[in-house]
Amino acid sequence: MKKIVLFALSALFATALPLFAADAPPAKVLVYTRWKWVKNPKTGEVVDKGAYFHESTPAAADEISKYFNANGYQCLVTDDPAVFVSDAFKQIKCVVFAVTNHEQFQTDAQRDAFYAFVENGGGVVALHSSSANERGSERWRKFLGGAFERHYSKHQKVPFTHVDRSHPAIACLPDNYVWEDDEIYLNHPDEDNIRPLLILDWKDVLEESRKTDKYGCPKSGGHILEWCKTYGKGRIFYSALGHNARDFGKMEFQLHLLTAAKWAMGELPDRIAVSANDKIEKAIEGVQLSRNGKPVWKFNLATRENKPFIHPLCLPDGRCITDSRPKDHPWHLGLWFCWKYINGLNYWEPRNPAANNLFPDGMTVIRDFDIKPMGAACEVKLKLWYGPRNEPGKVLMDEDRTVQISAPDDKGRYRITSTHLFTARDEVNIDGRRPESYGGFSCRMADFVRKFAVTAEGGTPNATKNTAGPKEMTSVTYSDPQSGHGITIKELAPLPTERIYTWADHRFANPVPMYAAPVTLKAGDKLTLKYEVTIF
């Protein structure tokens, strides 16, 4: 895992923070909390004005930094504008304005550094009163896409019915989600230069507020409460939500903001394919995507082998390209990961498959998982243990696995990225124990794949015998000569010993981490493997 860095929240509102030395720890997200007011515009004198401080600012900083850190993003929390001209800012990928207000910079150098950061590709997430930043500044209004005018006197609910579900930050929220209570900001955004994401319909505005409302967005039919836009190469996400401190403890809102930040940093696409015919369904045994009532893929978690796997895994024409528990090898599980030997113990084959005993001597345990649907896309995070079955409770190695499955595009193509971080608790020796080792990330394919053409990058798979391609071979592709559909399996983070092992009849592909030699880890050592599967 990435090292998590979180600066003490007790220093949040200090007038100056001596954090910005050249050797400051690297960070990816700046959680900025400034709420200053320019008392005299002519002299630029900056003083505190507590009447304009939101109680949600400390809660926003606390909850956002904790949640982002827990998801692997190092956060720097401060209200000191000196950060924008510091060495620490060179590590920043996204700035979150955590319910900020009024003057945000002390010098033009700080201000210009921030705008240049976004123009060159930096991300911004601005929350609630951040539309009142740089009060009266036309530069900020054009940058953000709108600026604070006023708010309703009464709080009200916001149903997420008039939304752009093609945006990842909206798609990750449940259908028919309702924001319970907020101070409705009327920001009068520039409708021609923003992409509206959440609109409060006129019909949903409280009657007494509607009578005095002069700040609507005619093209949108209500008030735009969330929007996004670009600025140069950078991406900006704004949400008017977050007036109440308790809002930032909501799990859905935390995911919403993290997804917005990922989008702002360019880690998620600008739009995801959303079809009324696509449906992500979670069940006790896992999660699956269906299209027109038929499965596209299914991620099985509650399995009798206690090994997570994907099956069925379907081509755009609906054919399932994976095979699971075939008669010849009932321990083959579609698209899955399994070590062969750890410290001489077999984690791959069952003790007695003929008797339908599917439990090997080595034990793989799913101890926790988290499923996050995003429209027709999905991310699954798992924590696993590895240990001997005859010594319950003994753990030799931990694994943190992240599997990301993209939404199918308009041609039905989609991609799976599987990242595996292993941490040894004791010294472990991982091996395949054959002249041509196997084990690890694997795909067992359906019988019809025998007729597919096989190509590769960096080398040529041997089609006459069960063997592995050359060390330089980084991917293998199986494609149907008639339909053009198929599958590509690619190594993204291989080991020096790795090879891609294939069967002669093409129905099994396996990038082998320990093909040429065993992998030995000492206690505390970490190992990362990463693979990409494309269905086309």
Q: 119-171 pLDDT, tens per residue?
A: 999 999 999 889 888 888 899 999 999 887 766 667 677 888 778 888 989 88
The C-alpha atoms of residue 54 and residue 264 are separated, in whole angstroms, by 24
Residue with tokens 């998620």, as numbered in its chain? 268
Largest Cα span, the chain: 87
The C-alpha atoms of residue 255 and residue 264 are separated, in whole angstroms, by 14
| CA 514 to centroid of chain Cα atoms | 29
Does residue 34 carry a pLDDT above 80? yes
Least confident span in 311-320, 353-362, 431-440:
353-362
The C-alpha atoms of residue 243 and residue 53 are separated, in whole angstroms, by 11
Q: 463-515 pLDDT, tens per residue?
A: 666 777 888 889 999 999 999 999 999 999 888 778 898 887 769 999 999 98
Residue type, 26: P
Residue type, 122: G
93, 26 Cβ separation under 8 angstroms: no
Q: Which is nearest to 371 in space by CA: 399, 401, 398?
A: 401
Does residue 213 carry a pLDDT above 50? yes
Does residue 232 carry a pLDDT above 90? yes
Q: Which pair of tokens denotes residue 78?
A: 């401060």
Give the pLDDT band of residue 52 (cuts 50, 70, 90). low
Residue 50 confidence (pLDDT): 46
280, 376 Cβ separation under 8 angstroms: yes
Residue 278 confidence (pLDDT): 76
**SS3 readout for 311-350:** EEEECCCCCECECECCCCCCCCECEEEECCEECCEECCCC
Residue type, 499: R
Axis crossing angle, helix 56-70 with helix 251-264, rounded to the nearest 10? 70
Q: Which pair of tokens denotes residue 370?
A: 């988290």
Give the pLDDT band of residue 17 (cuts 50, 70, 90). very low
- Looking at residue 207, the DSSP 8-state letter turns out to be H
Q: What angle do CA 360, 338, 331 make, to 5 degrees?
A: 55
Average pLDDT, the chain: 83
Residue type, 479: S
State whether residue 487 is helix, strand or coil.
strand
Instruction: Look at the pTM and tell me if it is higher than 0.75.
Output: no
Q: Which pair of tokens denotes residue 94?
A: 């996204």
| Mean local confidence (pLDDT), 31-35 | 91
504: exposed, middle or buried (Cβ count in 10 Å: 0-12, 13-18, 19+): middle
The C-alpha atoms of residue 271 and residue 376 are separated, in whole angstroms, by 11
User: Would you list the domain boundaries of the chain?
Assistant: 9-264, 278-535
| Mean local confidence (pLDDT), 321-347 | 94
Does residue 263 carry a pLDDT above 80? yes
Q: What is the CATH number of domain 278-535?
A: 2.70.98
**Residue 469 or 234, more confident:** 234
Does residue 16 carry a pLDDT above 60? no
- Looking at residue 219, the DSSP 8-state letter turns out to be T
Give how far Cα 246 sits from Cα of 9, 174, 182, Å. 17, 19, 11
Residue with tokens 């520039």, as numbered in its chain? 190
**Residue 174 or 345, more confident:** 345
Q: Which is nearest to 532 in space by CA: 514, 516, 509, 505?
A: 509
Residue 223 confidence (pLDDT): 81
Q: Which is nearest to 226 in space by CA: 175, 165, 152?
A: 165
Q: 76-118 pLDDT, tens per residue?
A: 999 999 999 999 999 999 999 999 988 899 999 999 999 999 9
- Looking at residue 169, the DSSP 8-state letter turns out to be H
Give the pLDDT band of residue 39 (cuts 50, 70, 90). low
Partners of 32 in beta bridges:
78, 97
**SS3 readout for 67-134:** HHHHCCCCEEEECCHHHHHCCHHHHCCEEEECCCEEECCCCHHHHHHHHHHHHCCCEEEEEHHHHHEC
What residue ranges in 480-525 does DSSP mark as E strands?
486-493, 499-502, 508-512, 519-521
Does residue 316 carry a pLDDT above 90? yes
9-264 domain in CATH 3.40.50.880? yes
351, 360 Cβ separation under 8 angstroms: yes
